[in-house]
Amino acid sequence: MQATATLRPARPALAGTGAPRSRRWLLIVPALAFLILFFAIPLLQNAGRSLGENDAGVFANYIKLLTDEYYLKVVVETLVVSFNSTLLSLIVGYPVAYFMVRRAGRLALPMLFLLVTPLLTSIIMRTFGWRVLFARRGIVNDFLMWADLIDRPLNLLNGPMSVYVGQVHVLVPFMVLSIIPVLRAVDLRLEESARVLGAGALKTFFLITLPLSKDGIVTGVILVFMLCAGSFVTQLLLGNGSIVTLPLLIFQQFSLTQDIGFASAMGNLLLLLVLACLFIQLRLTEGKRGNK
Amino acid sequence: MQTNQTTSVNRPVAKQLTLDRITKRFKGTVALHGISLTVQPGELISLLGPSGCGKTTTLRLIAGFDFPDEGSVRIDGADISHLPPNKRGLGMVFQNYSLFPHLTVAENIGFGLKMAGASRSHIQAEVKRMLAMIRLESFGDRLINQMSGGQQQRVALARAIVTNPSVLLLDEPLGALDKNLREGMQFEIRRLQQSLGITSVMVTHDQEEAMTMSDRIVVMNGGRIVQIGKPEDVYNYPRTRFVAEFLGTANIVKGRLESIDGKRLIFSLPKQNASLSGSACRISILCDETPTWIKPGNIAEIAVRPEKIRLGGSGDNTLQGVVQQHVFRGSQHSYRIDVPELGTTLTVSQFADFHHDDVHNANETVTLVLDEHAGVLLEPEDLALNEQAAGDGAELQQRKVA
């Protein structure tokens, strides 16, 4: 009796794995409900809003967006800025991830902490930080003057350079955090094999380590690209109009012009563009996917 | 890189590998205490020992992943102690093969040649030759994860030898295979190594593997070489208690040296308790030269292999015992026999001959016969250490009975 009593609670748990299929779907109901309520419905609503009720036709907003030279330029600029920022983040982030995994040893944990802490502050605060550093009489200009590299303060703010610096600063942690686990999983003995087989340190890196950490790079690139394509705070606060991207335009349409229909159309276009990029990236990196 | 290419194009000439008084420390602990070892051209040597004995460290020093604090690694006299691994022209098979998962089988095998700057056609021809040699002709385009463990093992071997390395390093090469496959591969690797005549160093903790594959075995313990010798010599004439127990099974009994008669040392075996009183039987041990460290009246340890004790029959030195346990192991019967005269339990194994099987059951009283060659005199461990520290080298201490 005692034995059966103690066994009984375990039974349903065991049976759970083999529960009738008909009731298993219940488990996803909460998540599904949340997604429908807060993701699918707003998205559909937004799509509906973007279709104009005015006399210019149902797709007027989209036609305007895709035929007007100014808007087309903005679309292209959005992609270019996102691409460049992603590339820069990769170039800056990969060595950091590599150092943390392979060389840092006991410093790895403090480094991780330093990497993550900026994420705890608001992006606006971090961006304003750059405004202070890049100001006419800010630290950067002061240092360059002191080092006699320049005669008078440079106009560092309000140009593409400051936008990129701001973007990369915000995005690099995501890149590093995506690469670290994959790099950590690369077997050191694979690199040692390559060394014994005659590959120098650089060749070993480019032929073995880099290809094997591809999954982390892909994850990081996708993540950073998405975040970048959807961001406007940096462009707004550091670019001062020198770089205009779709999100910035949406923000302006929404809060200044209050043309909500047009803003919605741009939002949907942005969504489609990013999805298309994601698709292309995945196809490009699929290659010899059979290996893992 | 240049030298690498020339060796990869020409047929190899077997090289001699020398480790000269190598000491390696890791953060204060000494991993290797000045070990010396010479691997003759074309020879396969096994480094055998428990984990932490320094065998892997030794291999990594040869490979160039670590560098010695003292002493040198030489190939045909040329000091390579501080060359990076890619400048040493070695081949290595890793424990888990370490094949590149993002490359095909053919690309894996051709990797070394590509690094050496060989032409595309040369690489293709060599890879084809290698695939034929390991009997995987049609597998060149496969990815590594599409191969079985045994196939991966063969690819790893092909990748290591395609460059005609001066020395082949094998790090527990069969550790990841199951038993049947392992035995087959032992012979296959040995056959390849012998036909190519590559000087090889293998690390293993599997004594059977070491015995099957090696020309000589190097038994290591605590960062020192305890004994070097042919498998049968190390097995039959273990130098210390550690070797006797690590390689095979051994009954270790304490004996008192009674007298020396030419090459023959006569020991009496007392009761194996604290006082070592009485004398259960005598055992004579043949020694090429009388060891200087023992005088009549001294106590020393003697190893007796289980299969060297005969059960039944008569002889000069006999003991009475009671069977405690009997295990049938297929090719042999294994017994645990309590010997009251000695005050200890001995392990005895007898060849299983099914024609006239006289199996002894538990509680049966049996006669144990210790023949002249049954026992081996063991050196005290501290003595063995001192001799090695003095630079004598374990090799010189090898005892052989004429």
Task: Note down the domain range covering B279.
Answer: 250-378
Chain A CB contacts of B145 under 8 Å are 290-292
At B134-188, the pLDDT tens digits run 888 899 899 998 998 889 999 999 999 999 999 999 998 887 788 888 888 888 8
Closest CA to A157 of A78, A243, A224, A84: A243
CATH number at residue B280: 2.40.50.140
Same domain assignment for residues B229 and B328: no
Same domain assignment for residues B48 and B135: yes
Per-domain boundaries in chain A: 60-120+158-291
CB-based burial of residue A99 (10 Å sphere; 0-12 exposed, 13-18 middle, 19+ buried)? middle
Largest CA distance in chain B: 78
Answer whether residue B76 is part of any domain: yes
User: What does the DSSP 8-state code read for residue B89?
Assistant: -
pLDDT of residue A7: 42
Same domain assignment for residues B190 and B318: no
pLDDT of residue A56: 66
Same domain assignment for residues B49 and B158: yes
At B228-278, the pLDDT tens digits run 999 999 998 898 999 998 888 889 988 888 888 878 888 888 888 777 777
Identify the CATH homologous superfamily for domain A60-120+158-291.
MetI-like (1.10.3720.10)
What's chain A's average pLDDT?
83
Answer whether residue B387 is part of any domain: no
Number of domains observed in the structure of chain B: 2
Answer whether residue B91 is part of any domain: yes
Same domain assignment for residues B42 and B176: yes
Which of helix, strand or coil describes residue A93?
A: helix
pLDDT of residue A59: 80
Give the best residue of B65, B67, B104 to mutate against chain A (max A CB count within 10 A): B65
pLDDT of residue A249: 87
Same domain assignment for residues B229 and B325: no
Does the beta-carbon distance from A195 to B111 stay under 8 Å? no
Confidence tier at A53 by pLDDT (50, 70, 90): low
At A143-193, the pLDDT tens digits run 888 888 888 777 777 778 888 988 898 899 999 999 999 999 999 999 999
Q: How many interchain CB pairs under 8 A, A with B? A: 78
Same domain assignment for residues B223 and B258: no
Same domain assignment for residues B206 and B355: no
The pTM of the full predicted model, rounded to 2 decimals, is: 0.78
pLDDT of residue A33: 94
At A105-122, the pLDDT tens digits run 888 889 989 888 888 888
ipTM for the complex?
Answer: 0.78
- Tens-binned pLDDT, residue by residue, of chain B (402 aa): 344 444 444 455 788 999 999 999 998 888 999 899 999 999 999 999 988 889 999 999 999 999 999 999 999 989 999 999 999 999 999 988 899 999 999 999 999 999 999 999 999 999 999 999 888 889 989 999 899 888 999 999 999 999 999 999 999 888 778 888 888 888 888 988 998 899 999 999 888 889 989 999 999 998 999 999 999 999 988 989 999 988 888 899 888 888 888 788 888 888 887 777 777 777 888 777 777 788 888 888 889 998 888 888 777 778 888 999 888 888 888 899 998 888 888 899 888 776 666 788 888 888 888 877 788 888 887 766 665 544 444 444 444 333
Please tell me if residue B80 touches chain A, with a CB cutoff of 8 Å: no
Same domain assignment for residues B221 and B255: no
Whether the predicted pLDDT of A11 surpasses 70: no
Answer whether residue B397 is part of any domain: no
Q: In what order do the strands lie in the sheet with B17-26?
A: B29-39, B17-26, B70-75, B78-79
Answer whether residue B34 is part of any domain: yes
Query: Closest to B94 (Cβ–Cβ): which among A193, A199, A292?
Result: A193
Same domain assignment for residues B181 and B74: yes
Q: Checking phi first, is residue B171 left (phi over 0); if not, alpha (psi -120 to 50) or beta?
A: beta
